[in-house]
Structures are given as C-alpha cells and as structure tokens.
C-alpha cells in the first residue's frame, strides 16, 4: 500500500477527515473529493490504484443509490479499476450488488481501522496486479476493450443450457428478431454473439449498443447519426449505430431501460426499415438483424404501460430465456476451469489448479451474480492465491451474502448435500472437523460425499 495512490469520494467531511488521518503516510498519494461530480474528470487526469467510494450521496439514481451509478461510470471509463464501496450497515444488500457489478469489496461504517486497512491493502494488491497484466494483455485493434466474457462459448453440461443452445442453432440462420432475457450476468451478450456467428450475416459486423448508458438527449445522434452542424458539438458528419450495423446484426442490450418516447422512435425505425440522421431529411434504408436483451420482465412492463406492446411484438419474434447459474449447477465446474485457464495465463501462473474443496465450494454457492460473478471470483482467487492450488479460503465471498441464502426449500437430500458442501468450504476440506461439526462419523462423511459426487 505504501506505493499506491488512493482516491476517496464521500460527501461527509468527517469521514474524509478520518480516512485522511488514517491513510496519510501509509500510501504514496492520497486525494479526497466531497462530491462525485468531479470523479470522472479526476480519473481522466490522474491514475489511482484504489477508489474508496461512498454508497450514499444527495440523491438516488434509478437503483435508489447514487453510489451504484458512479461505480458503473468509473468502471466504464477505467475498466478493471479497483473500487471499494463505503456503506452503512443497513445498506449491505446494495453493497453486495456493487461487488457483483465489479467493485472489489466494501467496508461498513463505522469501520474497524485494522479491517479497513486490510481491505484497502488487498484492493491495492488486486488493482496493481490487474494493471500489470493488462499491459501485457491482448490489445483490441480499435483500442476499445470488449466485454471480458463476450466471445465465451464453451461446451457446458446442464440440460437447461443445452436447450438454450438448441434454440440458438435453430434460429441463428434466419432473420428473425430475437429477444434474450435473463438475470444480470447470465451471458446474454455471449448468446447474441453466438447467434451472429452462426448466421448468414457473420461476414458483417455485429454492433452492440448499451441502451442503459445512452442518455435521452444523445439517443438520436448515437443510433441514427447526425449531419455536421446539426447541433453544437456536431463537428462532422457521423453515421449512427443502426446504419453502422447495415447488412449485419444490431444488438440492443438493456432495451427495457428505454423511456416511452425513445421506444416510439425505435419502433418507427423498425417499422420503416430506415433511419434519418439528425439534421437531414432524407431517410437511409437499412437491412439489419435485431437482437435485444434485458433483465426486465417486458410483459409486466407492458401491463403497467412502461413498455410499448407493439414494440415488444417487433423485437420478440423468438424469445430465449437464459437460466440463472444456480439452476444449472453442472455448468459451474466447466466454467470455473475455463476462467482458470484464461486468468492463469493472463497473470502468469501456469501451474495454478483448483482444489476439490474449492470446486465443491463453488458448486455450493448460489451465484446471485451468475457467470459474471463466477468469472470475477476466479480472477480474484488467482491473484490472491499464494501457492499453486486455489483453496476455498482464496475466494472472497461475503458472509453477509452467504447468510442471505441460508434458507433452503429443496429436498432433504439436496439440503444434506448443501450442508456438506458448505462445511467443506468453511473448514477447508478438513474431513475430521467437517464430520465432527456435522455430527457424523468420518466414514459416513466419505460415503455421503461419494453419494453426492462431492
């Protein structure tokens, strides 16, 4: 931590003073901001290893917490940035959500100084390791970093995933519009990429647009394009994303975030199969294959007049629902091994393997953040692992998060399997301790592990 640069963003001046007093002299550079409004500008001009970011500012944005908004903006501008959230005890659920979105960790107010310093030190280590690896990583030709798991398409074992892939193969070579739904992190963009790869349009581009990141004022310019001089900052002619995808595939991610006025504009384009650039009057014909994705229930949104029914019919010729990772346990180990191979190469740890206890722990976890959470967990474990074998203790699962999922409504056998798997994680594969804590003989434990494939 002594060679690290730390930025603290909190609107409570007492918190800033306390952190400044605690961290001064312990790091190379320390800066504080009392408002997040200058945060992105500060990150453009200076490099920081860790950003300590408050969860609660003056106003909530969409999620009910402005901290989540600024976290996403930081990660968009500086992918892989080391962000640690600062939160009150009552906001633990939001803080866990922040970790799923890409934060390294969170600290609770009021904090314990020793625990806080340990958290920041770990975050500094993770951040520096990531930066060093990224310098040697493969570089995208256009300088834009694609999503880390976009292109991931490996053979998976679960019946539910195989059903999804059967549908993908059937619809890929048609021009039918596809709507992909599912929880955050289930791999919606991955499936969209696979549909495009298997289609007759694969020699053309697939243009992806995050609808949740486009403001209402920039919607037409971004999607339809503009003519030079159409507005103040229009310094040159520019084609929009829709025109850029002509003869190829247009992927509209987070389409459920569109406001009703923007839904109407998008519907007009899809109906007319043409776009008109801002500042021009002549429409340009387009030929696109549309794939949309959302984690929202669009049918419910139609019922409450938040999403246009006619637009839903346009985008929903084929509907593919991606199951969450907790419903396809058979995919966890193959995915974990895939990410292990990827990150042990990236971080130059070629001999790293997952212990049996670690795999059992991964399979016992409920993965509320789905595949994306698993990917981040493997990356962190490889960075933090001291030896060549990753153990359960190398995973940074929060006890608060684990406790949320302690209730279980499965069968007795499923509950027993989960209890044993959880104990294997907690006691790091020490069979004597596991048997003792579960109140069974060691031989009985072996028999049950064999029965459940643990």
- In a 13 Å sphere around the CA of 296, the CA atoms on its Cβ side amount to 20
pLDDT confidence of residue 134: 64
Nearby residues of 204 by Cβ (< 8 Å), 6 or more positions away: 245, 246, 247, 248, 249
Q: Please report the DSSP string for 287-315 in residue order.
A: --EEEEEESS-HHHHHHTTSS-HHHHHHH
Decide: helix, strand or coil at residue 168: helix
pLDDT confidence of residue 138: 45
Q: Where are the domains of the chain?
A: 5-136, 159-323, 328-452
Residue 148, pLDDT > 50, answer: no
Residue 141, pLDDT > 50, answer: no
pLDDT confidence of residue 406: 44
Stated pTM of the model: 0.63
CATH number of 328-452: 1.10.8.60
C-alpha distances in Å from residue 207, one per residue of 144, 218, 250, 277, 292: 13, 17, 5, 18, 12
Sign of CA dihedral 324, 329, 330, 331: positive
| 268, two tokens | 């007009």
* CB-count exposure of residue 353 (10 Å: 0-12, 13-18, 19+): middle
Question: Domain spanning 159-323: which superfamily?
Answer: P-loop containing nucleotide triphosphate hydrolases (3.40.50.300)
Nearby residues of 412 by Cβ (< 8 Å), 6 or more positions away: none
Hey, do 5-136 and 159-323 end up sharing a CATH topology, with the first three levels equal? Answer: yes
CA–CA gap between residue 59 and residue 272 (Å, rounded): 40
Residue with tokens 């990224």: 134
380-395 tens-digit pLDDT: 899 888 888 999 888 8
Decide: helix, strand or coil at residue 274: strand
Confidence of residue 135 (pLDDT cuts 50, 70, 90): low
User: Is residue 331 a contact partner of residue 385, using CB atoms and an 8 Å limit?
Assistant: no
Phi/psi at 8 (nearest 5 deg)? -115, 130
CA–CA gap between residue 269 and residue 423 (Å, rounded): 56
Residue 405, pLDDT > 50, answer: no
Residue 439, pLDDT > 50, answer: yes
C-alpha distances in Å from residue 315, one per residue of 223, 258, 347, 400: 16, 13, 41, 39
Residue 414, pLDDT > 80, answer: no
| 399, two tokens | 């006890």
Averaged pLDDT score across all residues of the chain = 83
pLDDT confidence of residue 427: 65
Residue 149, pLDDT > 60, answer: no
Among candidate residues 315, 382, 314, 377, the one with its CA nearest the CA of residue 344: 382
- In a 13 Å sphere around the CA of 411, the CA atoms on its Cβ side amount to 3
Helix (H) or strand (E) holding 49: none
Among candidate residues 186, 25, 43, 19, the one with its CA nearest the CA of residue 110: 19
Confidence of residue 226 (pLDDT cuts 50, 70, 90): confident
| 166, two tokens | 């059967």
326-363 tens-digit pLDDT: 999 999 999 999 999 989 888 888 899 999 889 999 99
User: Is residue 365 a contact partner of residue 328, using CB atoms and an 8 Å limit?
Assistant: no
36-57 tens-digit pLDDT: 888 888 888 888 999 999 987 7
Among candidate residues 69, 19, 27, the one with its CA nearest the CA of residue 48: 27
CATH number of 5-136: 3.40.50.2300
| 232, two tokens | 């103040």
Decide: helix, strand or coil at residue 150: coil
Decide: helix, strand or coil at residue 215: coil
Longest distance between any two alpha carbons in the chain, whole Å = 80
């Amino acid at each position: 931590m002594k060679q690290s640069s730390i930025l603290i963003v909190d609107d409570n001046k007492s918190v800033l003073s306390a952190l400044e007093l605690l961290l001064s002299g312990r790091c190379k550079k320390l800066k504080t901001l009392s408002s997040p409004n200058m945060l992105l500008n500060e990150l453009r001009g200076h490099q920081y290893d860790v950003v300590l970011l408050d969860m609660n500012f003056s106003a909530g944005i969409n999620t009910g917490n402005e901290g989540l908004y600024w976290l996403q903006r930081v990660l968009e501008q500086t992918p892989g940035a080391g962000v640690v959230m600062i939160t009150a005890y009552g906001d633990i659920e939001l803080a866990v959500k922040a970790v799923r979105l890409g934060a390294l960790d969170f600290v609770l107010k009021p904090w314990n100084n020793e625990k806080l310093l340990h958290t920041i030190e770990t975050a500094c280590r993770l951040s520096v390791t990531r930066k060093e690896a990224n310098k040697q990583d493969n570089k995208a030709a256009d300088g834009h970093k694609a999503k880390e798991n976009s292109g991931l398409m490996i053979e998976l074992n679960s019946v539910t995933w195989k059903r999804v892939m059967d549908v993908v193969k059937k619809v890929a070579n048609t021009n039918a519009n596809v709507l992909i739904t599912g929880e955050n992190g289930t791999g919606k963009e991955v499936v969209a990429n696979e549909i495009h790869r298997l289609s007759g349009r694969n020699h053309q581009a697939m243009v992806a647009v995050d609808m949740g990141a486009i403001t209402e004022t920039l919607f037409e310019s971004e999607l339809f394009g503009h003519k030079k001089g159409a507005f103040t900052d229009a310094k040159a002619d520019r084609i929009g994303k829709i025109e850029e995808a002509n003869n190829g595939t247009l992927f509209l991610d987070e389409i459920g975030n569109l406001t009703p006025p923007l839904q109407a504009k998008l519907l007009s384009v899809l109906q007319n199969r043409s776009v008109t650039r801002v500042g021009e009057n002549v429409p340009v014909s387009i030929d696109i294959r549309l794939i949309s994705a959302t984690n929202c229930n669009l049918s419910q949104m139609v019922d409450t007049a938040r999403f246009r029914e006619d637009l839903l019919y346009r985008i929903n010729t084929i509907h593919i629902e991606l199951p969450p990772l907790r419903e396809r346990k058979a995919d966890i180990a193959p995915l974990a091994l895939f990410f292990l191979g990827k990150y042990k190469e990236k971080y130059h740890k070629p001999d790293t393997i997952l212990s049996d206890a670690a795999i059992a722990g991964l399979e016992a976890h409920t993965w509320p953040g789905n595949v994306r959470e698993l990917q981040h967990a493997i990356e962190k474990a490889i960075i933090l692992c001291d030896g060549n074998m990753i153990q359960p203790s190398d995973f940074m699962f929060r006890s608060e998060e684990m406790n949320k999922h302690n209730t279980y409504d499965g069968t007795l056998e499923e509950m027993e399997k989960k209890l044993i798997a959880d104990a294997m994680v907690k006691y790091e594969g020490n069979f004597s301790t596991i048997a003792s804590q579960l109140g069974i003989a060691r031989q009985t434990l072996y028999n049950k592990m064999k029965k459940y494939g643990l």
